[in-house]
Structure 1
Amino acid sequence: MARVGQVKSPAGERLSDRIAIGVLTRAFPPELVDEVIAETGRVEQRSRLLPARVVVYFVLAMCLFFGQPYEEVARLLGEGLGNRGRSWRVPTTAAIGRARRRLGPEPLKVLFGRVCRPVAVPGTAGAWYRQWRLVAVDGTTLDLADTAANDGFFGRPGSGRGVGAFPQARVVALAECGTHAVFGAAIGPLSVSEPVLSRQLLTELRAGMLLLADRGFYGFELWQAARASGADLLWRMRKSAALPVMEVLTDGSYLSTVHAEKDRRSRRNPVTVRVIEYTLAHSGDAAVYRLLTTLLDPRQAPARELAALYAQRWEIETTLDEIKTHQRGPKLLLRSKYPWGVEQEIYGFLLIHHAIRQLMHQAALDHGLDPDRMSFTRSLRIVRRQVPAQAAFSPRQTHTGTDPHPC
């Protein structure tokens, strides 16, 4: 199937050359940015070269053009402002750093919560299993600037050979498998495990979702908390765990029970689960995969289909790689020297990734394609080329009822 760079409109224009129009202000309208700034108490009381709205867009642009110096990113945005006939003096690196500190991480975090949602519609190819929206949870780590503040808050990895070269932040994400749209994220120190961080994401789950997770996430309490969201679950579980066979079902799967730690010996307060065990044929992998699911009826979801479906969990691995390798760049450090800046920067990366993926989804939908068949790397390059010409917005905040002091 054709990739995004090969699909052409009737006029011969490449589809990928049209998906980036207004990426920053389309995904994050100035009016919404102003609402978020007011909500988080970041409205300025006096006029500044870098008002809060511009700083939000600067952080987003910084995460889009990662690796570029502060002043170069500001210049790129300034070109867009100049297209509207406005002159805008490019601020110094020190001024930008102070403006980022004034803004803090909260506006980016709130903006993420307002904008980043699942984007698949019923016609989106590859986003559904029967009536369920496929979503997955997983985590990663990001290397940070080697400062005492980052080291003290986030920590760094260690082994028998010593400690790692750089502090690391742990990020756990919740993503839509078919579109790679991240719609939940939790950030924490390296000492906080992925299952613990993932508890912050459960409020984003809904009935009608099927959540995929690797074996590192299973724990009775987390399983129960995820079930309580209304979503259905399909998680891998360690083969060593003892699961009694309560009833063998027609498709070869079986019903079993799981228990809280305190009830494990007595088998009190059982929770019924369905277990699917299989090996991967013709792969040379003799490992037995064991899946637990809340879908108890094999007629509703046959074991063979669920075993094949579990491979969709790798889509979140690809999603995290898009952010770490392609957006950030391989082996590059986040630039922020303080924990507040690290959090601000990570949410900036997530917002930009969601904006690009949302545009790719719309382009795929318009042309009847599976979003997975489109090139994220090429789309990212095109967005980077077009943003300067599309960044034309007023640096002043809009005058709304929630903002009595426009600046």
Structure 2
Amino acid sequence: MSIQQLLLSIDELHSFSNHSTFTQNIPVEWIESALTLSSKATFRRRRLPEDQVLWLVLGMALFRDESIEEVARRLNICSEGLSSEQLIAKSGISQARQRLGSNPMQWLFQRTGEHWANERFTKDDWQGLQVFAIDGVVFRTPDTPDLQEHFGSASNATVKQSAYPLLRCVALMNTHSHVILDAQVGNYRTAETPLAEAMLDKIPDRSITLLDRNFWSANLMHTLMNGGNERHWLIPKRSNAVYEVVEEYGDGDALWRMTVSPQARKKNPELPAYWDVRAVTYEVQGKAKTVLTSLPHSDYAADQIALLYQQRWEIELGFRDIKSSMLNNAITLRSKTVDLIYQEMWGMLLAYNVVRREASHAAAAHGQRASEIRFKMAFTYIASNLIVMAAAKPESKTGMRLKDLRSGICNLFLDQKKARPNRPRMVKQSKTRYPVSRNAVSLK
């Protein structure tokens, strides 16, 4: 089966009218673009078809505790000319993944994410604006010389090199559906801000993007704001910020004028010498917090802006779901070569988006917010059903399996989130570096 047949099997082809009414199908032009990604599109008979290689990469993200060979067995993945009872050689699976490469997985993730994250539901907007968040996360890779050279590792004053090479990922996420619109993946030596700047053209009009204070950059803010229509941003004030108050709008609401650094203007000569930002100051547990934003005073109230910034933590919850639920806290990726690390990463992000998107549609069908569905519950539901479907329909292709899941996930039980218990923070005792005997007796 060719890559063209692979993508055709994902769903029947129909056109879509706009981003908000994406029909869950893959248009023909996507297929034509995918065909240019690899010169290794054809496989000889008795090799693992690329449709099943794609399904295998997704399965690796859904069944992190299982070996790759066991994932293939669970999902009834077999080579052409072999029955499902005949096991695939470990070397055959590795070679099939190498032939597929990482580019098709990256392209498919980014193309689907661009449309899925822009799907809009009744309760999703904030005062008519879509809400997104940008933040970074790191993953460990196996400790091999090639991966260490490519990705690099962390260091500090005492440890010159961390135990594992580190991969850096910066994601752009819809804070309501938790679907990742886009992501940039690179080595640990690459800073987060340049990776974030590479995604700014994906942010839609009439939106607001929430950022962590580490992304403070005049170039990033101006590019985001001036690259479209009503593209706003919201970010905490840095402790060393220098400004002058231009106008007071009210208590805790003012217009500040800030100077653009010579370094930033040298990097981008189009930046102005100074820029005006709105500063909203509010109180959290007796401490004053200030956020800076491009939202105009005339249209958006200060108290609502203060509440809006709390949504930035939604992207942290998304990263937690990937690491704790999908990877089961095994944050070291399993692939051993650079290209397969990227392939595994794009496959994991695509699998995460599949779960999030289906949960969003299930929530909308019940008149609820997508955030009211527990990710682990949806993830477990999908993973368990894939095994049943693979056993019942071993001949079905990737797209048919996903289509069957979409028809059943609307029955997903909507578990309401419980209120977080209010307990005082405690400092845990640090672990000793000396072994502790099982027969040790605690002293009172």
Q: Which deviates further from its counterpart, 223-232 or 175-184?
A: 223-232
| Counterpart residue number, 1:256 | 256
Aligned pairs for 1:179-190 (under 5 A) are: 179-190=177-188
Aligned-pair CA distance for 1:311? 0.4
String of CA shifts for 1:85-125, please: whole Å, max 9, x gaps. Answer: 97574311111111111111100000012211344655443
Equivalent pair of 1:79/1:389 in contact (CA under 8 Å): no
| Counterpart residue number, 2:338 | 339
| Counterpart residue number, 1:105 | 102
Structure 2 spans left out of the alignment, 5+ residues? 1-8, 12-23, 266-270, 400-444
Equivalent pair of 1:155/1:191 in contact (CA under 8 Å): yes
| Counterpart residue number, 1:270 | 274
String of CA shifts for 1:335-370, please: whole Å, max 9, x gaps. Answer: 111221111111111101100011100110000111
In structure 1, which of residues 92, 95, 98 is the aligned counterpart of residue 92 of structure 2? 95
| Counterpart residue number, 2:317 | 318
Structure 1 spans left out of the alignment, 5+ residues? 1-23, 399-407
Aligned-pair CA distance for 1:314? 0.2
Please tell me the residue identity of whatever aligns with 2:65. Answer: G
| Counterpart residue number, 1:59 | 57
Please tell me the residue identity of whatever aligns with 1:330. Answer: N
Aligned-pair CA distance for 1:255? 1.3
- Residues 157 and 202 (structure 1 numbering): CA distance in 2 closer, same or farther, change over 3 Å? same
| Counterpart residue number, 2:143 | 146
| Counterpart residue number, 2:71 | 73
- Residues 207 and 65 (structure 1 numbering): CA distance in 2 closer, same or farther, change over 3 Å? same
Equivalent pair of 1:37/1:43 in contact (CA under 8 Å): no
Equivalent pair of 2:72/2:78 in contact (CA under 8 Å): no
Secondary structure at the aligned position of 2:201 is classed as helix
Aligned-pair CA distance for 1:158? 1.4
Q: Which deviates further from its counterpart, 230-239 or 104-113?
A: 230-239
- Residues 328 and 263 (structure 1 numbering): CA distance in 2 closer, same or farther, change over 3 Å? closer
Aligned pairs for 1:8-407 (under 5 A) are: 38-41=35-38, 42-44=40-42, 46-78=44-76, 87=84, 89-117=86-114, 118-119=116-117, 121-125=119-123, 127-162=124-159, 163-230=161-228, 231-250=231-250, 252-262=252-262, 269-280=273-284, 283-284=285-286, 286=287, 288-296=288-296, 298-391=297-390, 392=393
Aligned counterparts of 2:394 and 2:42: Cα–Cα separation in 1: 18
String of CA shifts for 1:242-282, please: whole Å, max 9, x gaps. Answer: 111111114641112233312999x96332221112221xx
Aligned counterparts of 1:363 and 1:208: Cα–Cα separation in 2: 26
Aligned counterparts of 2:30 and 2:99: Cα–Cα separation in 1: 16
Aligned-pair CA distance for 1:80? 10
Aligned counterparts of 2:78 and 2:88: Cα–Cα separation in 1: 15
Higher relative contact order (CA 8 A, sep 6+): 1
Aligned counterparts of 1:334 and 1:97: Cα–Cα separation in 2: 15
Equivalent pair of 2:77/2:84 in contact (CA under 8 Å): no
| Counterpart residue number, 1:5 | none
Please tell me the residue identity of whatever aligns with 2:49. Answer: P
Equivalent pair of 2:151/2:188 in contact (CA under 8 Å): yes
Aligned-pair CA distance for 1:143? 1.1
String of CA shifts for 1:112-165, please: whole Å, max 9, x gaps. Answer: 12211344655443x321010010000010011111111111111112231211
RMSD: 3.1
- Residues 300 and 329 (structure 1 numbering): CA distance in 2 closer, same or farther, change over 3 Å? same
Aligned counterparts of 1:353 and 1:211: Cα–Cα separation in 2: 21
Aligned counterparts of 1:25 and 1:75: Cα–Cα separation in 2: 21
The number of equivalent residue pairs is 366
Aligned counterparts of 1:49 and 1:264: Cα–Cα separation in 2: 53
Equivalent pair of 2:47/2:79 in contact (CA under 8 Å): no
Aligned counterparts of 1:168 and 1:145: Cα–Cα separation in 2: 9
Q: Which deviates further from its counterpart, 255-264 or 183-192?
A: 255-264
- Residues 199 and 122 (structure 1 numbering): CA distance in 2 closer, same or farther, change over 3 Å? closer
The TM-score, its normalising length taken from structure 2, stands at 0.75
Aligned counterparts of 1:107 and 1:346: Cα–Cα separation in 2: 12
String of CA shifts for 1:216-237, please: whole Å, max 9, x gaps. Answer: 0011111112212322111112
